[in-house]
Each structure stands twice: as C-alpha cells, then as structure tokens.
Amino acid sequence: MSIHRIAVVGCGAIARDFHIPNIMANPRIELALTCDVDSSAAKECARQFKAGRASADWHEVVEDPDIDLILLTTHTNLRGELILPALKAGKPVYVEKPLANSLTEMLEIVGAVRETKVPVCVGHNRRSSPGILDLKRLLKKAVQGEGGWLPSVDRSHAGTREKLPEEQQIQILMRVNDDVRSWKDWIYHDREGILFAEMVHFIDVALWLNPTAPVRVFAEGSARGNFSLLIRFQDGSLTTIQHTLCGHFDYPKELIEISANYVTLTLDHHVELRQRGLIDEPFRITYPFMQQAGEDRLEGIEGFHQAVTRTFEEAQKKGTQPAFITPDKGHAAHLDRFLDCIEGKGENPCDVVAAVVVTRIALKLLESVRLGLPLPIGPEDWHIPDV
C-alpha cells in the first residue's frame, strides 16, 4: 500500500477538529507538514499531531517534492493561487468548500484540472455521510420502484385514480438549526455570510438528490443567517432550505425530510434515518456518532440526545464547558474516497465541475436575497462546456 504524504494548509478549526484527527486515524496517509500564515498555529499543529515539519509559507508546500497531496483548509482567500501551481506540480488537492467566491477563479481551477488531469476534490462531504448515502439509496428505490405501500387511509381507490403530475415530484425540506454563538467572528464580517459559506453543503445535497436541473431560486432573509432558500427544479420539484441562527448548538443541527412516490424519508442529524412506505426496508436505521471513551455506546437520535444530556450534566458538576458530540457528516470517508480516486480505484466523490455548479447556485441565491427577487437558473449556470 502506498502512503500519501499530505500537507495541511490552514491550521484552523476544521483542520484541527476534523481533518487532522481523520488523517491520523487513516493508515493510508502520513501527516508530513502543517502550514499556516500564523506560524505559531502551524508549529502548534505540527507538535500536537506529530507532523514532520511546519511552515508559514504555502509556496514551500507546492514546491516540496516530498509532499504528494495537499489539504487546503483556509477560507476562500486562498484557492486558485495555490491550486493551479499545485496541479502543475502533479499534486492532487482536497479543498474545503466553498470552492471559490468568483466564477473566474472557479473556471481557472476547472481549466487546470482538465489540462493537468490531476484531480481536485471539494469538501462537500455530506455526500459521503453514511446517513445521506442511505437516504439517496432509499430515494432511488422509492422513485424507481413501485413507491410507497397503500396508507392506512386510502381514498385513491387502491391507487387506480388518475395521477396528478405533482405526484411524480420530489419534495425536500432541509432544516438547519444553527447557533450564532458557535461561529467565529469572521463569518459576520464576510461579504457572503453563512448563506454562501455554509449553505453550499445543502445546495450540493439538493442538486445531487434531484434528477432534473434547477430552473429558479429564491432566497428570503439575511445572508448572515436566518433565511429560507427555495430551489425549483425542471420537473417542478422543490427543495426548501431553512436556516436559523437562533437555535441551541447542541440540539441536532441537520434534518432532511424527503417525500417522493408515496414514501417519506427523514434523516435526523446523520444519526438516524426513518422511513415509511418502503415495505422491505426497516423503519429506522441508526449511525454511530462521536462519544466519550469508556461510556456505554448510545444509538440513534434518542441516544444522541442522551449523550448530549450526559455531557451537560458532567460539565455542570465540574464547572467546565460540555464536550462536543458530533455525528459522522462524512469528512473521513470523503477524504478516503478521494485517495481511491487518486489511486485510480474509484470516482472523485466531488469533482470541481459539480462544485462549480453548487457554488454558482449559492451565488445566485445570494443575489436573490439582496434583490428580494426570485432568479432564473439556466444551462449557463449548471453546464460547463468541455473546452
């Protein structure tokens, strides 16, 4: 097995809390270098996670023949400037979302990927969440199969009544429960706000789950937080993404509810998937989440709430801050799937073209919230010519 020698550029929250611990746990990767403009952050990360070296200059990473993979976890302040020379040097890049905040920069990255044939994976990691992968599988089964069994109340004459065109649509609701206190200051000075920086995850899932192209978007609220986003698709299907900043961080953040072909599917914070309608599937599937060592393992959404309650009770006794209990949102698997892609054993879990489309839709939603108007989406928004 070949070991990928990775450099992490940007030693902030996502790198320290998720990516670097995932790298440490992955036998296919070796943490060779940590880099941050803040040299103390780079050195502290190297010390904490036993990286070979630390650097304050990302140019060194790109030029270093001993590095063969780069994880870019800065904000969009550093994207094409690093990615373009890295690809020329033959180094694949895993870049955190958003891919970039200008179309020109995104298209330059697409051009470089096509020219060098060196892959870039974008951190739309929800696609690699075990719960979302099952959600997609069950949706496909609902849509392509016979659909949901007859309900307890049936006035459709056992399904023989003429079908409405609307019955073929896919309705999706994504509720994002956010807590204003959990964000660092930068987000409130950022020109694009949470609507852009964070919603790309949910827009990505919406585009990935819907079989037809988007035709119209509308956003209402404030781009900084507290907004509703509406995406309408060619077949009339609607996805609504509702975001609140006024919630509590330790209440489950992400709820996705889908109804399609008489089947209802709900993914609760990546820890529990429930369904009604598919007779040969269980009502509930549960997924592991991060728990404290030495404790009884809890499961599902009820287990998640119990685990959170436990940490709050302990924190109260000790007078400390409660531990953070987080579900598996696919970060580790997304990176691991990218290794398969680099080794020629699998597809890129999120290539740049898919990410450009997501990011363009997010930029359109930003425009919509500022104008207070619905905006049309056309092929030029979701199709990038292969030239």
Ligand X SMILES: NC(=O)c1ccc[n+]([C@@H]2O[C@H](COP(=O)([O-])OP(=O)(O)OC[C@H]3O[C@@H](n4cnc5c(N)ncnc54)[C@H](O)[C@@H]3O)[C@@H](O)[C@H]2O)c1
Residues that bind ligand X in the complex, under the rule CB under 6 A: 9-15, 35-38, 41, 58, 73-75, 77-78, 96-97, 123, 125, 184, 186, 197
Q: Minimum distance between the CB of residue 18 and ligand X, rounded to whole angstroms?
A: 7
Q: In the complex, which residue's CB is closest to ligand X? A: 12
Alpha-carbon distances, residue 85 vs 66, 95, 130, 161, 253 (angstroms): 16, 14, 34, 61, 37
**H helical segments located in 71-228:** 80-88, 103-116, 130-144, 186-189, 193-197, 200-209
Cβ closer to ligand X: 192 or 281? Answer: 192
Q: Minimum distance between the CB of residue 58 and ligand X, rounded to whole angstroms?
A: 5
Q: Minimum distance between the CB of residue 10 and ligand X, rounded to whole angstroms?
A: 3
**H helical segments located in the chain:** 13-14, 20-25, 39-49, 58-63, 80-88, 103-116, 130-144, 186-189, 193-197, 200-209, 300-318, 331-342, 352-371, 379-382
Cβ closer to ligand X: 74 or 368? Answer: 74
Cβ density class 64-90: b for 16+ within 10 Å, e for less: beebbbbbbbbebebbbebbbebbebe
Q: Minimum distance between the CB of residue 61 and ligand X, rounded to whole angstroms?
A: 9
151: number of CA atoms within 13 Å, CB side? Answer: 9
Cβ closer to ligand X: 197 or 231? Answer: 197
Q: What whole-number distance in Å separates Cα of residue 135 and Cα of residue 267?
A: 7
Of 19, 56, 17, residue with least CA distance to 34 = 56
Q: Residue 312 in contact with residue 250, Cβ under 8 Å?
A: yes
Cβ closer to ligand X: 81 or 146? Answer: 81
Q: What whole-number distance in Å separates Cα of residue 112 and Cα of residue 352?
A: 10
Cβ closer to ligand X: 119 or 236? Answer: 119
Q: Minimum distance between the CB of residue 40 and ligand X, rounded to whole angstroms?
A: 10
Cβ closer to ligand X: 102 or 168? Answer: 102
Q: What whole-number distance in Å separates Cα of residue 295 and Cα of residue 297?
A: 6
Q: Minimum distance between the CB of residue 223 and ligand X, rounded to whole angstroms?
A: 15
Cα-Cα-Cα-Cα dihedral sign, residues 348, 352, 357, 363: positive
Cβ closer to ligand X: 38 or 115? Answer: 38
Of 259, 264, 260, 258, residue with least CA distance to 277 = 264
Q: What whole-number distance in Å separates Cα of residue 82 and Cα of residue 161?
A: 59
Cβ closer to ligand X: 96 or 328? Answer: 96
